[in-house]
Amino acid sequence: MSAGQFFCVLAVFVMTVMPAPASLALAEGGRTEYVIVQSEESTAAERHAVSELAQTLKQITGVEFEVRTNLTEVPRRAIVVGPGRLAAQLFPEVPFSELGPEEIVLRTQGQRLLIAGGRPRGTLYAVARFLQEYGGARWWTPWASTIPRRSRLTIPQLKVSAQPAFESRDPYWFPAFDRAWAVRNTSNSQSANLDEAWGGSVVYQGFVHTFYALVSPEKYFREHPEWFSLIKNQRTAERAQLCLSNPQLRDFVVQRVQEWLRESPRAKIVSVSQNDWHGACECPSCQAKDDAEGSPAGSLIDFVNYVAEKIEPEFPQVAVDTLAYQYTRPAPKTVRPRPNVIVRLCSIEGNFGAPLDDPSNAAFAKDLRDWSKICQRLYVWDYTTDFSHYQQPHPNWFNLGPNARFFQRHHVVGLFEQGAYQSSGAEMAELRAWLLAQLMWNPYQDDRALIEEFLRGYYGRAAAPFIREYLNLMQKAAQGYYLTCYSPPEAPFLGFETLAQAERLWQRAEAAVMNDPDQLWRVRQGQACLRYAWLLRWSQLQQECRQSGGTWPLPESRKAVADEWFARATQPGPTGWKPVTHLNERGLTPESLRQQFQADPPNLLKASARFSRPPAPLDIPGLKPKRYLDLQDNLANFVVEPDLGEFRADPDASDGFAFRMPGNHRRWGFSIRAGRLPVPAMKGRWQVYVVARVDKTVGTGTEAKGYAFEAGVYDEKARKMQTSRAIRLDAADGVYRSFLLGTVEFHPGSYLWVAPAAHPQVQAVWVDRFCLVP
């Protein structure tokens, strides 16, 4: 050993035994004595972590931190980044070789600081957590961050070892697909394009719903119908699954999975999962397995286990991923997933207005508990948006934290939180993406405090109180409502009184940040989502406003509101933001929605008053004036989506108002729910009449035949039609007529509905009222 080498080792030894300072001053007064030490064996991800650390420390302190590598002697004041020879020498107590792939270590020794982690992503995450916890950095979105300016940056003595609560963490919202945001917020999402320099991610071959990707019906059904579901004694590939007990099919799938994995040598998970519909095989063999196991998951797990066992010798590091989804959601009684099988349990039927361990979600909670007892690698596919209306208020914010904790307590190791993944601009998308990323790292953080932190950091301290009050308002209004991931615009928490309060809160938030262009833009984007809810129910909300004696909080021109909403949704915005392209999963665009609102409907705020005592219909045989229930159109809860109908003043209607639906669709645009029926309607049997008229053009031949509209009573809870009738075109002559639909007993799940028949000759269907005759 040379004298120089001896001195270096001795110096390191002496530094490790000297008393540790109370804190380390990384920068002070525009200067730093610290250098960043990069290991000469560092990976691309660790070199990226060094760059991220140096750049962000400069943003915080204004000081340039020198980066050094290939050192023979480490300075007394050094930030050592990543594992390697020097890190092991300086911090011998850290078991670098035993660190998990995402485990982080923050350690001080003397005046030195270690920021490192396991490979491939640990050091990246160590830097990200360090900058957040001790530098105050926050990366809210790809276009908005808070990097505090500090002339003096000190850190306490550290001895931190941590790793994420979930091995797979995917806040599947559009803003979360930015890879810099993902790494900084410790998301290892497959959708964030994380290459080697960004730590990479777990590579999937396939993802979900892969049965037909593995066994194409177009190629194989004709030759092998026995490979596909037997349904009602007939083999079919139409919205069906595979025959999971067929021995030849099993071996063929094994072969296909092996081919997939040879084509994708980096893959660590391969998907062998059911199609996105029902249609399970009913053959005697599959049925016997499912009956014995008490769930169609019996034949599924037995099948997936077979595939997983066969591929394991060649691909020992690959797991086979499958779904517990819809009909396979309940766990089997005795069959157990192999250690190399991932079961991904889906919550799609859940009430997202309450935590998933709430009594309203008892069935899902039971399934989660059952799977957690038998599955070594349990993932959850959770749903955090409204796929029918990305911009519609969806009050689930305060349930995300309880749900993450519920999952972690029951040994879930992978979490996929599906949100509005196709476009920017979804309602509170930025909050949910950031909050979910934090909770996936550590679900035991105070989620309410995280929400408060985001509101202040993203929208500004002046606007935050009003937006927080908005969240509380919507959550309270939705209590008791079964909030699904396909909730409609007529959900009861979206009534006039609630939306008017919400609108005033967003207007106050806007006024509070009027002098800050960045925060003003963010508030206006949030407010635009609330305007979406106004636009879809404009006529009904005007009617509710009028009935309640309330004050209309918006311009009275729907076209003007729609144009302003469109401008906000499609404007360029800051770097990192992308204009809105999708308003729902089906692909509705902002332009398509705006086009629906280019003509203003009649202003119901200024229309003549309704007649207080509408006359009885004259065409109902034997009707006695006080022996029927008159259900006027103002009881309706209707869907616009985007413009299926609207209230209009009509002097020919019994009370001067009716609900007009254009004749070009078949949706149940008009409905009256059981909760809005008079109390007497819930007792006894009633003849149900709909009073309606039809505007039509003159036609001849086959064009003059067919149906003008349909109407009926549907029991939502029993999922069956109680009565219905299609009204022929020739029975509709342009004046209001009473049409008997049938005789029913109403139940709590009943509702009356009307839908046009999309006949080319029908211009519009006007609904005046329903009449119930005992």
Q: How far apart are CA 245 and CA 233, in angstroms?
A: 16
Q: Tell which residue, 454, 635, 457, has the closest CA to residue 540.
A: 635
> In the prediction, which pLDDT does 18 show?
42
CA angle 160, 442, 408 (to 5 degrees): 125
**Tens digits of residue pLDDT in 149-173:** 999 999 999 999 999 999 999 999 9
pLDDT, mean of residues 435-456: 98
> In the prediction, which pLDDT does 719 show?
87
Query: Which residue in this structure is represented by tokens 């092991």?
Result: 88
- Is 702's pLDDT higher than 60? no
CA angle 705, 709, 712 (to 5 degrees): 135
Q: Are residues 563 and 636 in the same domain?
A: no
Q: How many CB atoms sit inside 10 A of residue 598's CB?
A: 10
Q: How many CB atoms sit inside 10 A of residue 158's CB?
A: 17
CA angle 284, 286, 288 (to 5 degrees): 65
**Tens digits of residue pLDDT in 91-107:** 999 999 999 999 999 99
In a domain, 340, yes or no: no
pLDDT, averaged across the chain: 93
Q: Could you tell me if 244 and 302 are in contact, meaning their C-beta atoms sit under 8 angstroms apart?
A: yes
**Tens digits of residue pLDDT in 315-363:** 999 999 999 999 999 999 999 999 999 999 999 999 999 999 999 999 9
In a domain, 663, yes or no: yes
Q: How far is CA 26 from CA 48, 60, 239, 248, 691, in A?
A: 20, 11, 62, 66, 78
In a domain, 210, yes or no: yes
Going across the sheet that includes 168-172, the strands are: 168-172, 412-418, 377-383, 341-346, 319-324, 269-271, 204-205
> In the prediction, which pLDDT does 639 show?
64
> In the prediction, which pLDDT does 643 show?
74
In a domain, 457, yes or no: no
Q: Are residues 653 and 753 in the same domain?
A: yes
Last residue of a domain, one of 268, 290, 316: 316
Q: Could you tell me if 413 and 166 are in contact, meaning their C-beta atoms sit under 8 angstroms apart?
A: yes
Last residue of a domain, one of 163, 192, 227: 163
Helix intervals (H) in 113-246: 122-133, 179-184, 211-214, 217-220
- Is 612's pLDDT higher than 80? no
Q: Are residues 7 and 130 in the same domain?
A: yes
- Is 199's pLDDT higher than 70? yes
In a domain, 180, yes or no: no
Q: Are residues 590 and 633 in the same domain?
A: no
Q: Are residues 120 and 247 in the same domain?
A: no
Q: Are residues 565 and 709 in the same domain?
A: no
Q: Are residues 636 and 738 in the same domain?
A: yes
Q: Are residues 284 and 237 in the same domain?
A: yes
- Is 4's pLDDT higher than 50? no
> In the prediction, which pLDDT does 286 show?
98
Last residue of a domain, one of 260, 288, 316: 316
Q: Are residues 158 and 19 in the same domain?
A: yes
pLDDT, mean of residues 386-398: 98
Query: Which residue in this structure is represented by tokens 């309330």?
Result: 550
Q: Are residues 634 and 705 in the same domain?
A: yes
pLDDT, mean of residues 4-29: 54
Of all residues in the chain, what percent are helix, strand and coil, respectively (each to 5)?
35, 20, 45
- Is 21's pLDDT higher than 70? no
Confidence of residue 540 (pLDDT cuts 50, 70, 90): confident
In a domain, 572, yes or no: yes
Q: What is the CATH number of the domain that holds 68?
A: 3.30.379.10
Q: Could you tell me if 721 and 713 are in contact, meaning their C-beta atoms sit under 8 angstroms apart?
A: yes
Beta bridge mates, 319: 269
Q: How many CB atoms sit inside 10 A of residue 149's CB?
A: 9
**Tens digits of residue pLDDT in 458-515:** 999 999 999 999 999 999 999 999 999 999 998 999 999 999 999 999 999 999 999 9
- Is 53's pLDDT higher than 60? yes
In a domain, 654, yes or no: yes
Q: Are residues 125 and 224 in the same domain?
A: no
With left for phi above 0 and alpha for psi between -120 and 50, is residue 536 left, alpha or beta?
A: alpha
In a domain, 406, yes or no: no
> In the prediction, which pLDDT does 19 show?
52
pLDDT, mean of residues 180-207: 95
- Is 9's pLDDT higher than 50? no
pLDDT, mean of residues 732-751: 94
> In the prediction, which pLDDT does 704 show?
66
Q: What percent of the chain has pLDDT over 70?
A: 96
pLDDT, mean of residues 672-689: 94
Beta bridge mates, 139: 145
**Tens digits of residue pLDDT in 618-666:** 999 989 878 899 999 888 876 666 678 888 889 999 999 899 999 999 9
Q: How far apart are CA 436 and CA 404, in angstroms?
A: 8
Confidence of residue 723 (pLDDT cuts 50, 70, 90): very high
Number of domains forming the structure of the chain? 4
- Is 701's pLDDT higher than 80? no
The residue ranges of DSSP E strands in 502-637, in sequence order, are 629-632
Q: What is the CATH number of the domain that holds 671?
A: 2.60.120.260
Helix axes 247-263, 297-311, angle to 10 degrees: 50
Q: Could you tell me if 208 and 323 are in contact, meaning their C-beta atoms sit under 8 angstroms apart?
A: yes
Q: How far apart are CA 215 and CA 227, in angstroms?
A: 9
Q: Are residues 11 and 122 in the same domain?
A: yes
Q: How far apart are CA 447 and CA 438, in angstroms?
A: 9
SS3 739: strand
The range of the structural domain enclosing residue 769 comes to 629-773
Lookup: tokens for 375: 């599955």
Lookup: tokens for 602: 């009649």
pLDDT, mean of residues 543-570: 95
